[in-house]
Structure 1
């Protein structure tokens, strides 16, 4: 059979070629039809499916004679009559006859009434239906065979309405996707995953007054950005009641002190932050703030009212962290602060954090998946931590304890403060919390220095690790160059001492026992001991050139009792059982609250009008400032 040539439907034949075809005899016309493998269709493009590729055979369902029949209803009758009686009539009539013969459907192979409306339907049938019948009129020499086929045309022209029944065939598959939404009824399943977690941490309820003191040039005192007469918001040498955090108006129940920022939890479940926000430690967006241009002749000590301090109000004032960052119904139990990071522990044991960690080379980041050198500016859930009951923070590392006694650590570990070796190539993986190698021990208490860590088990055994350049871990140094304790190690010198609390500064440690005894060890050359160490024997203190450098063993501070201890860098604060406070150590920024600069060698009671009005229960130390918190005595008197 001759190869079929595909002709685009809707392309009208050129008039010249139609005229030549009209002059041929029926025999030559039959021969011409045999040479045309694909008959031309005069059907308009509007009747073609829009998505039908050109050059391909049209589908049966797309050969609707509705539009083409309306265009040339008289044509089939005229063409059929003229092809039998007068093949040599006018050119125009013969063109119509030949075109209609080409596009008329074939009745034999059509499976629908619509496809049988024309004698020859090569272009509109499937391959099986078009191949055999298409050759019959082209190869036969008798001109009488096409006549009977055309005679049926008038009968079928009246049936274009039957094609309108075809669209349901297209609707049928369209109804299939509409049945697919049925499985969407299972959407409520996620609601089952959201379970109410049990409460394992109870938040404090006692409302506290907050007293601040120290240098405060970064707004870390939270006194605002305006001086009020002689009462400046920086260089506060003695404790001052922060009116922006009063017990009556705000109701702070717990405080965390970082390097140069603070966070406070209120009785109504708000988180307030203030201080330096360079690495996102405040967990909220802050304005750039004004910068004061200090001149040589500037009266910086002026006592004029409302003098601008040059501080950024959005940092220097306690402001709330937006609760939209936490799921609805989240309740907080306590807050914790590192050098440039902050963490919030919920009543259900989940942990949220923000800020960043720093290393020897600068900013490391907050999470391993984050960009190097980036900061987490708003609170995010720490996904690895669940059922957490306590947190301790160092300068750039964190410890978290869960209900099973498992200890997790993360941050930077360049001084082995994570209890494992951290190499540069995998250092970012250390930003993800991992449990430490104390699986056989049930840890019940934790503590941290700036670069060293502590864990206490249920048998009162104390383990420590990290930087040990001044014996601050409590583990004696064997040689001068052994400055690191690489893994959790039992502190034998604390055996039998029931520690209530333990915390550390840069190179020293302070602790208190359940009996209130205050213990000190580590560096003492910057007056960190709080008592005279010059006469101690060599087995208790390490000396160089006759000067004591560090305590080899934990040593009790004579005549001092404490219910709470705090330290940072080289400054110490303690709260005694009678609600008073003592401090000692480095005081260049007035961070001892004693109103003096330089070192304070002996533990000294903090005493001024603001302190006397409070029953102190808590203390905290930052880089160059200090914080005390207590309950107003007048409230106790009224009670």
Structure 2
């Protein structure tokens, strides 16, 4: 497949929304801020009898029913809690960032692919993993590496962030890097006092052109710029500030966050009580808080208190409405996945290839436009149970854009979604005429050499990497820029149908303990093999 064909996701190619009831955004909390934040406007008085106020519908699971209207009851404002007969809440112990942050310290960072984001001064291409000199020259101890769309970030044990890449609209605000310029050397970020007061940085997440950081106190910081299908998102003062310097997204004194993860242009946060918050672009449904994805208002994209960023996880089970808390969250591409305390997985966002674990609606003649275009709506705007993930497995990592790679806690790996160019690593796709193996809507177990167990995975558009418990690295998919690290030459077949072991002289004597792949480059974190 032509790489340019893979590189874009448009509304035209996106399949239709999964069949689900229409749910009113206000009652679902889709666009509802908790109490105290918004005063509703008073409607103009009219002569005669007042019209009956509508009671908002309640978001529910697949078998849910809308509560009956009640005569004489005052209209609920969008700040009010959702009415229900019986509501139960699943409870869990407070979560901690220590449950999620990387805990293995590496002393070597390697990169492969193309661009300034490789971090190799004077070199913008390397087909095999090559060590980043500054890490060992400065004896840095690194706990996390993150590959963004046009940039890279690494995090040291003392909370220092180093970045390189293209500083477009504040994406790489490193010391000495001018606006709209770039740097091919990892350079330290210096934060203002108001940012450092939020605590030590313990986790990073990166999207297409932005980066977010979590502190040990529970605050979230972000910098760079967000985009949607129409271009740059510029509808809120905080988004303006993000392009100028790092800003606080959520203050720990108002809400304590324990995990962050990022899609292309949205950020997902999990707080200590198990509530899920989303921030940024929601046009593909990835915020999970409004069914009106094309007209979502700016105040529901941004909120420093986090009050209007909460995703309401309310579902009906028999005669009760259940508020489900989360014990883990995942995000990538244009989707979000929530692992509920009830053991189920809930998803929202773009589901054009069934990557959300929700079956794609079959195309009918009514879905075909006048010029043959697919008019199905494939965005899932509110949380829906994702049965393909099942409840018997606990996944520690889930990543990908049009396909999904998920690592279970027992070290097994499962894949699902679009399989052209053998993106799933199953080796089953035979070419453009293959109408059977190009898509998998259920989880498929991926086998590795000698039955090795996998310690971690990372995936982006048609590309994936995985590393084993003993530090070996495997990659598969479409190697458009050398990001698979296999040393493929320009005249080689760029499609790698099954996991293939990555080798490099710079990996000799080291084992990989972390990694992050993007559309054009990959970062690895490694430690000497004689170290624990």
Change (3 A) 1:510 1:205: closer
Name 2:301's counterpart in structure 1.
431
What is the CA–CA distance in structure 1 between the aligned matches of 2:118 and 2:361, rounded to whole Å? Answer: 42
In the TM superposition, what is the alpha-carbon distance from 1:622 to its structure 2 partner? 1.5
What is the CA–CA distance in structure 1 between the aligned matches of 2:412 and 2:95, rounded to whole Å? Answer: 33
In the TM superposition, what is the alpha-carbon distance from 1:499 to its structure 2 partner? 2.4
What is the CA–CA distance in structure 2 between the aligned matches of 1:605 and 1:460, rounded to whole Å? Answer: 34
Contact 2:238–2:247 (CA under 8 A) maintained in structure 1: no
Out of 499, 515, 522, the residue aligned to residue 410 of structure 2 is: 515
Query: What SS is found at the alignment partner of 1:603?
Result: strand
Change (3 A) 1:200 1:490: closer
Name 2:81's counterpart in structure 1.
none
Change (3 A) 1:316 1:517: same
Is residue 612 of structure 1 aligned with residue 508 of structure 2? yes
Name 1:216's counterpart in structure 2.
114
Q: Which has the higher contact order (CA 8 A, sep 6+)?
A: 2
In the TM superposition, what is the alpha-carbon distance from 1:223 to its structure 2 partner? 1.5
What is the CA–CA distance in structure 1 between the aligned matches of 2:429 and 2:422, rounded to whole Å? Answer: 11
Please identify the structure whose Cα radius of gyration is greater: 1
Name 1:410's counterpart in structure 2.
279
Is residue 378 of structure 1 aligned with residue 270 of structure 2? no
Name 1:324's counterpart in structure 2.
192
Deviates more, 1:591-600 or 1:327-336: 327-336
Contact 1:501–1:565 (CA under 8 A) maintained in structure 2: no
Out of 255, 264, 275, the residue aligned to residue 145 of structure 2 is: 255
Is residue 400 of structure 1 aligned with residue 269 of structure 2? yes
Change (3 A) 1:289 1:453: closer
What is the CA–CA distance in structure 1 between the aligned matches of 2:217 and 2:97, rounded to whole Å? Answer: 6
Out of 324, 330, 334, the residue aligned to residue 447 of structure 1 is: 330
- Select the structure that is richer in helix: 1
In the TM superposition, what is the alpha-carbon distance from 1:216 to its structure 2 partner? 2.8
Query: What SS is found at the alignment partner of 2:388?
Result: helix
What is the CA–CA distance in structure 1 between the aligned matches of 2:356 and 2:433, rounded to whole Å? Answer: 20
What is the CA–CA distance in structure 1 between the aligned matches of 2:417 and 2:483, rounded to whole Å? Answer: 20
Query: What SS is found at the alignment partner of 1:315?
Result: strand
Change (3 A) 1:472 1:222: same
What is the CA–CA distance in structure 2 between the aligned matches of 1:576 and 1:416, rounded to whole Å? Answer: 34
Contact 1:472–1:509 (CA under 8 A) maintained in structure 2: yes
Query: What SS is found at the alignment partner of 2:398?
Result: strand
Query: What SS is found at the alignment partner of 2:498?
Result: strand
What is the CA–CA distance in structure 2 between the aligned matches of 1:558 and 1:206, rounded to whole Å? Answer: 25
Contact 1:530–1:557 (CA under 8 A) maintained in structure 2: yes
What is the CA–CA distance in structure 2 between the aligned matches of 1:592 and 1:461, rounded to whole Å? Answer: 33
What is the CA–CA distance in structure 2 between the aligned matches of 1:576 and 1:525, rounded to whole Å? Answer: 25
Is residue 584 of structure 1 aligned with residue 476 of structure 2? yes
What is the CA–CA distance in structure 1 between the aligned matches of 2:167 and 2:424, rounded to whole Å? Answer: 33
Q: Which ranges in structure 1 are unaligned for 5 or more consecutive residues?
A: 1-197, 227-232, 291-311, 536-542
Out of 189, 203, 211, the residue aligned to residue 334 of structure 1 is: 203
Is residue 595 of structure 1 aligned with residue 478 of structure 2? no
Out of 197, 222, 225, the residue aligned to residue 356 of structure 1 is: 225
Is residue 500 of structure 1 aligned with residue 368 of structure 2? no
In the TM superposition, what is the alpha-carbon distance from 1:205 to its structure 2 partner? 5.9
Change (3 A) 1:342 1:485: same
- Number of corresponding residues: 401
Change (3 A) 1:222 1:422: farther
> What are the Cα deviations for residues 93-149 of structure 1, in whole angstroms up to 9, with x where unaligned?
xxxxxxxxxxxxxxxxxxxxxxxxxxxxxxxxxxxxxxxxxxxxxxxxxxxxxxxxx
In the TM superposition, what is the alpha-carbon distance from 1:341 to its structure 2 partner? 0.9
What is the CA–CA distance in structure 2 between the aligned matches of 1:618 and 1:409, rounded to whole Å? Answer: 25
Name 1:553's counterpart in structure 2.
442
> What are the Cα deviations for residues 343-395 of structure 1, in whole angstroms up to 9, with x where unaligned?
11110111111111101111103x723577x7523111114662101111000
Give me the TM-score of the superposition, normalised by structure 1.
Answer: 0.59
Change (3 A) 1:289 1:449: closer
Change (3 A) 1:545 1:632: closer
Is residue 487 of structure 1 aligned with residue 382 of structure 2? yes
Contact 2:396–2:408 (CA under 8 A) maintained in structure 1: yes
Change (3 A) 1:489 1:384: farther
In the TM superposition, what is the alpha-carbon distance from 1:200 to its structure 2 partner? 4.5
Query: What SS is found at the alignment partner of 2:227?
Result: strand
What is the CA–CA distance in structure 1 between the aligned matches of 2:520 and 2:239, rounded to whole Å? Answer: 31
Contact 2:397–2:456 (CA under 8 A) maintained in structure 1: no
What is the CA–CA distance in structure 1 between the aligned matches of 2:361 and 2:103, rounded to whole Å? Answer: 47
Query: What SS is found at the alignment partner of 1:410?
Result: strand
In the TM superposition, what is the alpha-carbon distance from 1:283 to its structure 2 partner? 3.1
In the TM superposition, what is the alpha-carbon distance from 1:286 to its structure 2 partner? 4.7
Out of 160, 167, 183, the residue aligned to residue 277 of structure 1 is: 167
Contact 1:207–1:253 (CA under 8 A) maintained in structure 2: yes
Contact 2:260–2:270 (CA under 8 A) maintained in structure 1: yes
Q: Which ranges in structure 2 are unaligned for 5 or more consecutive residues?
A: 1-93, 315-322, 364-375
Query: What SS is found at the alignment partner of 1:246?
Result: helix
Query: What SS is found at the alignment partner of 1:601?
Result: strand
Query: Within 5 Å, which residues of 2 pair with 1:234-313?
Result: 234-246=124-136, 249-284=139-174, 286-287=176-177
In the TM superposition, what is the alpha-carbon distance from 1:491 to its structure 2 partner? 1.6
What is the CA–CA distance in structure 2 between the aligned matches of 1:215 and 1:422, rounded to whole Å? Answer: 38
In the TM superposition, what is the alpha-carbon distance from 1:278 to its structure 2 partner? 0.6
